Protein backbone atom coordinates (compact mmCIF):
# COMPACT_ATOMS: atom_id res chain seq x y z
CA UNK A 1 0.00 0.00 0.00
CA UNK A 2 1.29 3.40 -0.98
CA UNK A 3 -0.09 5.28 2.00
CA UNK A 4 -1.47 4.21 5.37
CA UNK A 5 -5.16 3.62 5.88
CA UNK A 6 -5.23 6.29 8.56
CA UNK A 7 -4.98 9.00 5.86
CA UNK A 8 -8.13 7.89 4.08
CA UNK A 9 -10.57 10.01 6.17
CA UNK A 10 -8.45 13.10 5.50
CA UNK A 11 -8.46 12.31 1.79
CA UNK A 12 -12.23 11.78 1.91
CA UNK A 13 -12.87 15.17 3.52
CA UNK A 14 -10.40 16.94 1.22
CA UNK A 15 -12.16 15.50 -1.82
CA UNK A 16 -15.52 16.47 -0.28
CA UNK A 17 -14.26 20.05 0.05
CA UNK A 18 -12.94 19.93 -3.51
CA UNK A 19 -16.36 18.89 -4.79
CA UNK A 20 -17.93 21.73 -2.82
CA UNK A 21 -15.42 24.17 -4.34
CA UNK A 22 -16.29 22.92 -7.82
CA UNK A 23 -19.94 23.61 -7.11
CA UNK A 24 -18.97 27.16 -6.20
CA UNK A 25 -17.07 27.45 -9.48
CA UNK A 26 -20.23 26.47 -11.37
CA UNK A 27 -22.24 29.03 -9.39
CA UNK A 28 -19.68 31.69 -10.22
CA UNK A 29 -19.88 30.78 -13.91
CA UNK A 30 -23.67 31.07 -13.76
CA UNK A 31 -23.34 34.46 -12.03
CA UNK A 32 -20.95 35.77 -14.68
CA UNK A 33 -23.39 34.91 -17.45
CA UNK A 34 -25.84 37.42 -15.95
CA UNK A 35 -23.66 40.24 -17.26
CA UNK A 36 -24.09 39.13 -20.88
CA UNK A 37 -27.90 39.27 -21.24
CA UNK A 38 -28.33 35.47 -21.46
CA UNK A 39 -26.14 34.98 -24.51
CA UNK A 40 -26.03 31.21 -25.14
CA UNK A 41 -22.52 31.25 -26.60
CA UNK A 42 -21.14 32.99 -23.52
CA UNK A 43 -23.07 30.57 -21.31
CA UNK A 44 -21.45 27.58 -23.02
CA UNK A 45 -18.00 29.16 -22.84
CA UNK A 46 -18.31 29.81 -19.10
CA UNK A 47 -19.68 26.31 -18.47
CA UNK A 48 -16.81 24.80 -20.47
CA UNK A 49 -14.24 26.83 -18.51
CA UNK A 50 -15.89 25.84 -15.20
CA UNK A 51 -15.86 22.18 -16.21
CA UNK A 52 -12.19 22.33 -17.18
CA UNK A 53 -11.33 24.05 -13.89
CA UNK A 54 -13.20 21.39 -11.93
CA UNK A 55 -11.46 18.54 -13.73
CA UNK A 56 -8.11 20.22 -13.17
CA UNK A 57 -8.86 20.84 -9.48
CA UNK A 58 -9.96 17.24 -9.00
CA UNK A 59 -6.83 15.99 -10.77
CA UNK A 60 -4.42 18.17 -8.76
CA UNK A 61 -6.00 17.35 -5.39
CA UNK A 62 -6.13 13.67 -6.24
CA UNK A 63 -2.53 13.71 -7.40
CA UNK A 64 -1.33 15.60 -4.33
CA UNK A 65 -3.28 13.70 -1.66
CA UNK A 66 -3.94 10.32 -3.21
CA UNK A 67 -0.76 10.03 -5.29
CA UNK A 68 -2.85 9.90 -8.45
CA UNK A 69 -4.73 6.75 -7.48
CA UNK A 70 -8.41 6.80 -8.31
CA UNK A 71 -10.16 5.18 -5.42
CA UNK A 72 -13.91 4.80 -5.29
CA UNK A 73 -14.23 6.69 -2.00
CA UNK A 74 -12.34 9.68 -3.40
CA UNK A 75 -14.62 9.95 -6.44
CA UNK A 76 -17.67 9.36 -4.23
CA UNK A 77 -16.57 12.11 -1.82
CA UNK A 78 -16.03 14.52 -4.71
CA UNK A 79 -19.48 13.80 -6.12
CA UNK A 80 -21.11 14.08 -2.69
CA UNK A 81 -19.47 17.47 -2.12
CA UNK A 82 -20.52 18.67 -5.56
CA UNK A 83 -24.11 17.46 -5.13
CA UNK A 84 -24.36 18.86 -1.59
CA UNK A 85 -23.31 22.28 -2.82
CA UNK A 86 -25.57 22.19 -5.88
CA UNK A 87 -28.72 21.02 -4.07
CA UNK A 88 -28.32 22.36 -0.52
CA UNK A 89 -26.36 25.60 -0.77
CA UNK A 90 -26.84 26.70 -4.38
CA UNK A 91 -30.09 28.56 -3.72
CA UNK A 92 -28.58 30.52 -0.83
CA UNK A 93 -25.56 31.44 -2.91
CA UNK A 94 -27.75 32.36 -5.90
CA UNK A 95 -29.84 34.72 -3.77
CA UNK A 96 -26.71 36.38 -2.42
CA UNK A 97 -25.21 36.75 -5.88
CA UNK A 98 -28.50 38.13 -7.22
CA UNK A 99 -28.49 40.84 -4.54
CA UNK A 100 -24.88 41.60 -5.41
CA UNK A 101 -25.76 41.79 -9.12
CA UNK A 102 -28.68 44.14 -8.45
CA UNK A 103 -26.43 46.31 -6.31
CA UNK A 104 -23.85 46.57 -9.11
CA UNK A 105 -26.54 47.14 -11.72
CA UNK A 106 -28.14 49.88 -9.63
CA UNK A 107 -24.83 51.69 -9.26
CA UNK A 108 -24.17 51.42 -12.99
CA UNK A 109 -27.60 52.93 -13.78
CA UNK A 110 -26.97 55.81 -11.40
CA UNK A 111 -23.63 56.50 -13.10
CA UNK A 112 -25.28 56.50 -16.54
CA UNK A 113 -28.07 58.81 -15.39
CA UNK A 114 -25.59 61.32 -13.94
Q: 11-28 pLDDT, tens per residue?
A: 999 999 999 999 999 988
Q: Which of residues 78 and 33 earns the better pLDDT score? A: 78
**Residues whose CB falls within 8 Å of the CB of residue 30, separated by 6 or more in sequence, listed in order:** 46, 94
Question: What does the pLDDT read at residue 80?
Answer: 96
Beta strands in 42-96 (DSSP E): none
**Inside any domain, residue 2:** no
Question: What does the pLDDT read at residue 98?
Answer: 81
Cα separation, 38 vs 9, whole angstroms: 42
Q: 65-100 pLDDT, tens per residue?
A: 888 888 899 999 999 999 999 898 888 887 887 888
Question: What does the pLDDT read at residue 99?
Answer: 85
Question: What does the pLDDT read at residue 14?
Answer: 95
**Inside any domain, residue 93:** yes
**Inside any domain, residue 21:** yes
Cα separation, 91 vs 1, whole angstroms: 42
**Inside any domain, residue 83:** yes
Question: What does the pLDDT read at residue 6?
Answer: 82
Helices H / strands E in the chain, number of each: 4, 0
SS3 31: helix
Question: What does the pLDDT read at residue 22?
Answer: 95
Total of domains in the chain = 1
Amino acid sequence: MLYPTIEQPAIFFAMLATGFACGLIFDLARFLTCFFKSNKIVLHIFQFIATCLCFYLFYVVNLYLNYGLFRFYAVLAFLLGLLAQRFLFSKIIAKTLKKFYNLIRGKRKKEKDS
